[in-house]
């Protein structure tokens, strides 16, 4: 079976309200959708998050740099095609939008392979359809929701009403003292019935400042241990993350922006994190995510992938070192990729778990009317 056609589309979906994290303001989410069709007319779907303005750039990488490598090739030869494509784009970009584009094509090929096998992707990769543990993500800074402490407590209550015991909130967007009060409010709202992770989105410029922050948050949490401290430093600060990991009680988690197994090798060798948040839509697709996860397992590290629960539920089902899946409720208007998916194929959840779809491949269908509404002009 050969690859006969590759179609890419960039879409921009606005968030429903003004939203920010520690160092970025969110207005739109850009996604790039890739459909790979074989010579029998069967199609696989892949996608990636392209940032708040990177959709056209990532789409161009698909169309101009990568599609020529894949067209006419054997659709089953996924791993070899990944290596060929990576080699082809060495000069254009071994990281950034180019690897996100490569991720989307690779995901589409795996979706196609699983569809042809008549199996959910997670089963094809060696897993089962057992539900996967999940946590409710959010805790962004959104003006108009009252006091910061009231807003975070209200969101925890919403998560709990949806059946989630474990939660994640942002830090780093306010002073350490103000964020510490939000942490205390979240811990109080959880009431000992779950765990709380903190996500700094690279907020702190030095190990000293990051350490001072996490120690303040630990004091605010009292006797309740924090689940993890996520991305406290720049993704380039691998040694800094390693130093912080050695000097803090709360586990360090990172990896959502890191790409390819070579960057993760550096993270692992440095001891920079005990939890890896590898994002298949960023790191190089399913092919590269599985390589990274198996390597992490050999070092006793756990996987808590970033975003894309529709995809990652399949990947976490197929490895032994899964910690948890990140889940974003569509009602929060933050991770709005779900708007592009038909309601009947959106990911199901219950009792703090996400359910692996029983349909072949990723198990999702696009709502073409919604895609057309938000598609960026070519």
Mind listing the pLDDT tens digit for each residue in 192-222? 999 999 999 999 999 999 999 999 999 999 9
**Is pLDDT above 90 for 339?**
yes
Distance CA 31, CA 27 (A): 13
Distance CA 197, CA 341 (A): 28
pLDDT given for residue 17 in this prediction:
85
pLDDT given for residue 23 in this prediction:
85
Q: Characterize the bridge pairing of strands 43-51 and 132-137.
A: unpaired
Show the DSSP H helices in 144-279 as ranges. 148-161, 176-190, 207-221, 238-247, 260-270
pLDDT given for residue 378 in this prediction:
81
Mind listing the pLDDT tens digit for each residue in 226-281? 999 999 999 999 999 999 999 999 999 999 999 999 999 999 999 999 999 999 99
Mind listing the pLDDT tens digit for each residue in 275-312? 999 999 999 999 999 999 999 999 999 999 999 999 99
Q: How confident is the model at residue 358 (pLDDT cuts 50, 70, 90)?
A: very high
Ordered structural domains, the chain, with CATH:
3-118+368-374 (3.30.390.10), 123-355 (3.20.20.120)
Residue found under tokens 């194929």: 345
| Range name among 140-149, 198-207, 312-321, 360-369 with the lowest pLDDT average | 140-149
15, 336 in Cβ contact below 8 A? Answer: yes
The mean per-residue pLDDT over the stretch 351-375 comes to 98
Q: How confident is the model at residue 99 (pLDDT cuts 50, 70, 90)?
A: very high
pLDDT given for residue 18 in this prediction:
82
Q: Characterize the bridge pairing of strands 325-327 and 132-137.
A: parallel
Q: How confident is the model at residue 24 (pLDDT cuts 50, 70, 90)?
A: confident
The mean per-residue pLDDT over the stretch 333-354 comes to 96
Residue found under tokens 């996608």: 47
E-assigned strand segments in the chain: 3-20, 25-38, 43-51, 132-137, 167-170, 196-199, 229-230, 252-254, 275-276, 302-303, 325-327, 348-350, 353-355
Distance CA 336, CA 40 (A): 32
| Range name among 16-25, 89-98, 223-232, 352-361 with the lowest pLDDT average | 16-25
pLDDT given for residue 252 in this prediction:
98
Q: Is the pTM above the cut of 0.95?
A: yes
């Amino acid at each position: 079976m050969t690859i006969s056609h590759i179609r890419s589309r960039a879409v921009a979906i606005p968030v429903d309200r003004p939203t920010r994290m520690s160092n970025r303001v969110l207005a739109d989410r850009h996604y790039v959708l890739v459909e790979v069709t074989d010579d029998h007319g069967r199609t696989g779907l892949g996608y990636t998050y392209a940032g708040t303005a990177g959709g056209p750039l990532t789409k161009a990488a698909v169309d101009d740099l990568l599609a020529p490598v894949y067209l006419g090739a054997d659709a089953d030869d996924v791993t070899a095609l990944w290596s060929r494509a990576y080699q082809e784009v060495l000069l254009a970009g071994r990281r950034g939008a180019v690897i996100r584009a490569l991720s989307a094509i690779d995901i589409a090929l795996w979706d196609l392979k699983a569809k042809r096998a008549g199996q959910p992707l997670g089963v094809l990769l060696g897993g089962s359809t057992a539900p996967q543990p999940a946590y409710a993500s959010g805790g962004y800074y959104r003006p108009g929701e009252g006091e910061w402490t009231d807003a975070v407590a209200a969101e925890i209550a919403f998560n709990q009403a949806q059946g989630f015991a474990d939660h994640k909130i942002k830090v780093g967007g306010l002073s350490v003292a103000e964020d510490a009060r939000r942490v205390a409010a979240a811990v109080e709202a959880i009431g000992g019935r779950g765990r709380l992770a903190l996500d700094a989105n690279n907020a702190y410029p030095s190990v000293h400042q990051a350490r001072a922050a996490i120690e303040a948050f630990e004091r605010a949490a009292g006797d309740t241990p924090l689940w993890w401290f996520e991305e406290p430093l720049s993704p380039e600060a691998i040694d800094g993350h390693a130093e912080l990991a050695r000097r803090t009680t709360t586990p360090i988690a990172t990896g959502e922006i890191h790409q390819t197994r070579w960057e993760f090798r550096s993270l692992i060798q440095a001891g920079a994190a005990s939890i890896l948040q590898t994002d298949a839509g960023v790191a190089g697709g399913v092919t590269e995510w599985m390589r990274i996860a198996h390597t992490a397992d050999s070092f006793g590290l756990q996987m808590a992938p970033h975003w894309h629960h529709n995809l990652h539920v399949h990947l976490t089902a197929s490895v032994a070192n899964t910690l948890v899946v990140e889940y974003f409720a569509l009602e929060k208007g933050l991770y709005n990729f779900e708007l592009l998916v038909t309601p009947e194929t959106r990911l199901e959840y219950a009792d703090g778990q996400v359910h692996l779809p029983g349909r072949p491949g990723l198990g999702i269908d696009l709502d073409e009317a919604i895609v057309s509404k938000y598609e960026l002009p070519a």
